[in-house]
A and B are shown apart, each in its own frame.
Chain A
């Protein structure tokens, strides 16, 4: 890897050699390019590595220049002034970071813009020191031992500064600090859970960035020998950022290209005189159109990652890893009586349990039961209203910052994996705190078999899970929290994952698992805590919990529902309203749905069943157009819609009541429902709509009282009613319902299904996805069972109801243990 410093040195030497032959204008341009490289490298630390936008860097440039200029006029040697300029700007950078870190996006942009304007006006007003608007005149060139620098030496100095800053950037980006910066940029949440403090990382990035920019400014002053506030226009900040983006954010040599373009291009256009800015603006735009992610991004599209063969770690290395991972002193995690409420809604209450080292403790319960909330409290993302969390007899961790919890030995993974997407697999694990060798061993340990240099974003789903676990293990945790690690995995992968978690526990780590896959939970858990509506309803060994009637009710539902099948069998036309043919769809490389075939006929209620992660919601998204592109065909009333966007499909007569209700929170209930009529081809008049609304409300008496209140204030059950009413307002040819029972209290679930029965009996065509399979089959005419993205079974509701395999898909086969 010494090729890169050598490359920088050779590049700098070539520029220097050229400088010895160039005349003074060219030297001046070289010097300016060099300084721009330094600034852009600095901005690259902030923007490229840390992901923060600054539109005020010209302020730091100006401050560096004025520190150097003022001191030079007072007779201080340039080489004494330079470090001071760097220090001052670095300190100011850290200072600006304080407000800047509390804000993000456009707010951050505004803070930096305001900073630049304050600097500009400050320079004008602090006249005694800065010379005011007319600036500082006659700044002498640097001298070294009586030798005064001319243009050539200034060009060499700038080139050296550029080379040094490139080298510094290279070192930084390879260092753990550089990796931390990228980590914070990719995922602040994950960064905290491996013990990084995002605030200090970002503040450091600001300080480095400002210091480099100040250094460039300090050289700029004697180069120009004259500086005034007008030398540092606001537009220059945009150009700095443009240079970084053009070169490719985060890339080492990007700033060289960026600086060359930002300095040279205007010079090339100087003959255009008054038309220069206009043409420059057009060229800027053209460049952005051609390469919105920079030139590096342009090349990256054609470059494929080199996959390296995986070395199988030696056995003794594996044994070494075991001793490394085994916590020196095993401590139980004691969660005592924690509770939290969000805006009056209780998400968790009186949760108490103990996670013993060497054991797997599982938290289960229906969606919305508060399992993830409990994990978020333990890992420090939520501060609980009540209760304590202790490791052994240690300090109370409740309410501590996430990175502090992580440092005390509590690692975790996330429901949606939180990897540092732009970093390699290896870097992800190393950031957890492992050196290269143990990172390799860890990846082998978790069963990861892919390349180490692959970017995490390019990983298939199962590998993301594994790498995330490896990264968590790299922090040498005493406690490992896993949030639905098996979601979306295939059976074989789930089984392997189960074995892995068991092995981790056997090392003496306390494993806390939140999971829906009952085969896995029942198979590996030592202790299970069941939550419902934020409260523990049962706890014990797997066999105790499995036979607990309250648990079965919470999972299978059905017991107290008034839902019923059709009184008379459906007799209708058999030409499908909606059908899917070889439907294949997914989010990344691996498809979530493969060759799915299903059809729904007029008046039918069809249930789509399957375990979590089987692809039910993906199917709903693909059918409704939210997920594009898909392959295969989707036919809605004889129209091919697989290529159409969502709103067109809606206009063709398909209404989806999405998972999580998705009401418009700030609009009234009435407005929400009326918006449902947007896609109606008949364009009903206001009176018609009002009549229809009244008729509809008769079906949803709960909504009548709430008609004028904001939808966001409704309870979950009311929101579900609202979402269904909104869908019906479209008078759809087919209504798709995605998880209508999700997160609802049992009584509300029953009510929701009553509504479904009424709709079915009124002749509405429905495709239903719900995790409460028994209940869904009670009301359905037919059903399809999805597993790992494929239809594995279909038939009438009656055929499917008594099916033992279906129960296995949800609760895990009782015979498994």
Chain B
């Protein structure tokens, strides 16, 4: 029963890490920058949904839609203000700029949304169902499904649609993509929007299980970064798989050894994994050129 519960919990958290990490993956693939305000986009998704749906009383559908649109807008702003000014001159100050952006958003949210956590009600996280003796909220089962669906959806979007293929073209060879008439600058901006949307979806999904607060993004953001790195930041399905691995390891370590050493063990495992596989669990080595 403990194991079942740990596995379900690990899968749902892992799916969420995977979704956020997919965002890191998308932006890194097209622009070779890491967006450290990604955690704040998770918070933004949850906070916006709460504000629109609960505080302002919008119907759920439009509230979700508006949240996604606003999250995409946030992604565009991040790219335009925190990444592009530095990336175009080859400076890596985007690292600190995106951290600063996260701080600003978190603190702004603290004043606008309030300082105390709120609960996003959901009928899917109220009464548990019982599977092999373990109590599970239906939402916990839905999250991994949504996660996998979004990863597969992303994969289909990328591989089956013209727009997706253009994005892949930019990833694989930006110069040739330009020659095809693809606006690489715009594609990068779009990828940041997509990245923020993925994070916002994760935020909306986790909110009913967790709670909504202005500082909820930080920890998720860091763990998801570890997932993105472990998955090999260049491989989309690897990232999702790494999300599940991370979530399961975390839940199982807590179940079997107690929570005191969870973070120590998990982060040590990250270091060891990277030392052994410098390009991540599912990454591929680049050909060395001289």
Tell me the A residues contacting B by CB distance below 8 Å. 53, 98-99, 102-103, 106-107, 109-111, 113-115, 117-118, 121-122, 125, 189, 234-235, 238, 241-242, 245, 274-275, 277-278, 280-282, 284-285, 288-289, 292-293, 342, 372, 376, 381, 414, 624-626, 645-647, 650-651, 655-656, 658, 662-667, 671, 674-676, 678-679, 726, 730
Does the CB pair B101–A678 fall under 8 Å? no
Q: List 20 A-B contacts (CB under 8 A).
A: A99-B274, A106-B233, A110-B274, A111-B275, A113-B226, A115-B267, A118-B264, A121-B261, A234-B222, A281-B100, A285-B101, A288-B100, A293-B89, A647-B181, A647-B183, A662-B176, A663-B173, A674-B165, A678-B166, A679-B181
Q: What 0/1 readout, one digit per residue, does chain B (83-110) give for beta carbons within 8 Å of chain A? A: 0011001011101110111011001101
> What is the CA–CA distance of A678 and B176 in the complex, to the nearest angstrom?
12
Q: Does B113 contact A (CB under 8 A)?
A: no
Does the CB pair A107–B274 fall under 8 Å? yes
> What is the CA–CA distance of A646 and B82 in the complex, to the nearest angstrom?
25
**Partner among A125, A667, A675 whose Cβ is within 8 Å of the Cβ of B260:** A125
Interface size on B (CB < 8 Å)? 61
Does the CB pair B28–A106 fall under 8 Å? yes
Contacts of A275 in B (CB 8 A): 107, 111
Does the CB pair B103–A277 fall under 8 Å? yes
> What is the CA–CA distance of A647 and B177 in the complex, to the nearest angstrom?
8
Q: Does B126 contact A (CB under 8 A)?
A: no
Residue picked from A115, A284, A342, A664, most chain B C-beta under 10 Å:
A664
Q: Give the distance to chain A from B70, nearest Cβ to Cβ, in Å.
A: 20
For residue A96, which residue of chain B has the nearest CB? B271
Q: Give the distance to chain B from A283, nearest Cβ to Cβ, in Å.
A: 9
**Partner among B86, B99, B168 whose Cβ is within 8 Å of the Cβ of A238:** B99
- Judged by DSSP, the binding face of B is helix
> What is the CA–CA distance of A650 and B176 in the complex, to the nearest angstrom?
11
Q: Give the distance to chain A from B94, nearest Cβ to Cβ, in Å.
A: 9
Contacts of A115 in B (CB 8 A): 267, 271
Residue picked from A106, A234, A372, A658, most chain B C-beta under 10 Å:
A106
Does the CB pair A285–B169 fall under 8 Å? no
**Given contacts A106-B28, A111-B274, A114-B226, A666 and B166 within 8 Å (CB-CB):** no
Does the CB pair B179–A53 fall under 8 Å? no
Minimum-distance CB pairs A-B, first 5: A679-B181, A650-B181, A99-B275, A281-B103, A646-B178
Does the CB pair B182–A114 fall under 8 Å? no
Does the CB pair B178–A121 fall under 8 Å? no
> What is the CA–CA distance of A795 and B96 in the complex, to the nearest angstrom?
57
**Partner among B82, B96, B175, B290 whose Cβ is within 8 Å of the Cβ of A658:** B175
**Partner among A121, A280, A285, A730 whose Cβ is within 8 Å of the Cβ of B82:** A285
Does the CB pair B179–A650 fall under 8 Å? yes
Q: Does B120 contact A (CB under 8 A)?
A: no
> What is the CA–CA distance of A678 and B91 in the complex, to the nearest angstrom?
31
**Given contacts A106-B229, A113-B222, A647-B178, A288 and B172 within 8 Å (CB-CB):** no
Does the CB pair A281–B28 fall under 8 Å? no
Chain B 172-215 interface residues, beta-carbon cutoff 8 Å to A:
172-173, 175-184
Does the CB pair A662–B290 fall under 8 Å? no
For residue A102, which residue of chain B has the nearest CB? B278
> What is the CA–CA distance of A792 and B274 in the complex, to the nearest angstrom?
55
Residue picked from A53, A235, A284, most chain B C-beta under 10 Å:
A284
Does the CB pair A662–B175 fall under 8 Å? yes
**Given contacts A107-B278, A281-B107, A647-B181, A53 and B92 within 8 Å (CB-CB):** yes
> What is the CA–CA distance of A115 and B91 in the complex, to the nearest angstrom?
25
Q: Give the distance to chain B from A797, nearest Cβ to Cβ, in Å.
A: 27
Q: Give the distance to chain A from B131, nearest Cβ to Cβ, in Å.
A: 32
> What is the CA–CA distance of A675 and B268 in the complex, to the nearest angstrom?
44
Sample of 5 more A-B contacts, CB < 8 Å, known A99-B272, A678-B180: A281-B104, A647-B181, A658-B179, A675-B165, A679-B180
Contacts of A107 in B (CB 8 A): 229, 233, 274, 278-280
Q: Does B119 contact A (CB under 8 A)?
A: no
Q: Give the distance to chain B from A802, nearest Cβ to Cβ, in Å.
A: 35
Q: Does B16 contact A (CB under 8 A)?
A: no
Contacts of A376 in B (CB 8 A): 290
> What is the CA–CA distance of A237 and B59 in the complex, to the nearest angstrom?
43
Does the CB pair A647–B264 fall under 8 Å? no
Q: What 0/1 readout, one digit per residue, does chain B (106-138) give for beta carbons within 8 Å of chain A? A: 011011000000000000000000000000000
Contacts of B169 in A (CB 8 A): 664, 667, 675
Q: Does B225 contact A (CB under 8 A)?
A: yes
Q: What 0/1 readout, one digit per residue, does chain B (39-69) give for beta carbons within 8 Å of chain A? A: 0000000000000000000000000000000
For residue B287, which residue of chain A has the nearest CB? A342
Q: Does B263 contact A (CB under 8 A)?
A: yes
Q: What 0/1 readout, one digit per residue, does chain B (209-233) give for beta carbons within 8 Å of chain A? A: 0000000000000100110010001
> What is the CA–CA distance of A646 and B229 in the complex, to the nearest angstrom?
33
Does the CB pair A285–B104 fall under 8 Å? yes
**Given contacts A113-B225, A292-B86, A658 and B267 within 8 Å (CB-CB):** no
